[in-house]
Structure formats: C-alpha cells, structure tokens
Amino acid sequence: MKMNTYKYTGANTTGVTLEVNDEVLEVMLFPGRPAELPEEHPWVKRMVRRGFLTLVESGDANSKKINAKAEAVPAPEPAEGQAALQTMPEQKEN
C-alpha cells in the first residue's frame, strides 16, 4: 500500500494500530504534526473525510516546514543526577 504524509489536526494526541498487508502498523498522532499513513486504508480515508487528517503535498513548501519541525524536536534528557531509566529498589523478603 502506498504511504502518504498527512497532518493530524485533532485536538488530542492519539495512537492508531492499522493492519497493512498482513502486518501491524502502529502510529502515534500528535496535533499539528505529520504522520506517514497508508492512503488506501479505510481508517485513513474516514479520518480525512472527518477532517482530522490533511494530505501534505510532497512539493509543498509548508510540508518541508512541518517535517523539519517534527524532526527538530529533541528527546528530553534525564534530569541531573537521575538515571535514564529508574527502577524500583529490590524488596527484601522477611
């Protein structure tokens, strides 16, 4: 299935799990951000009709700004003195 870039215009961050060619595709949708989705999937078509997804034209100057903005957001760093992954201390049995 052909993939296209869509801008998600919903108010809330959401996730979707789609079955595409017998494979599972999981996508997070963030308001105002682009997402790669299969254009012929019924869920994508329905979300376009409802106005929650807008096709981003590949040659559109605005699409380059959207994609650059999405890629430019860095992942947050852990606070000083904190490990990247915190685990619970082991409990001693009585």
The contacts of residue 8 (CB under 8 Å, 6+ apart) are 29, 30, 31, 32, 33, 34, 35, 52, 53
Residue 90: half-sphere exposure toward Cβ, Cα within 13 Å: 3
| Structure confidence by residue, pLDDT tens digits, 49-92 | 999 999 998 765 454 555 555 555 555 666 666 555 555 566 66
Check residue 61 and give its pLDDT: 46
For residue 93, is it within any domain?
no
pLDDT at 57: 83
30 domain-assigned: yes
Number of independent structural domains in the chain: 1
pLDDT at residue 91 in the model: 63
Overall pTM > 0.75 = no
Does residue 90 sit within a domain? no
pLDDT digits (tens, 9 = 90+) for 40-52: 999 999 999 999 9
Is the pLDDT at 37 greater than 60, yes or no? yes
The reply to whether 44 falls in a domain is: yes
SS (H, E, C) 15-52: EEEEEECCEEEEEEECCCCEEEEECCCHHHHHHHHCCC
Q: Which domain holds residue 26?
A: 16-72
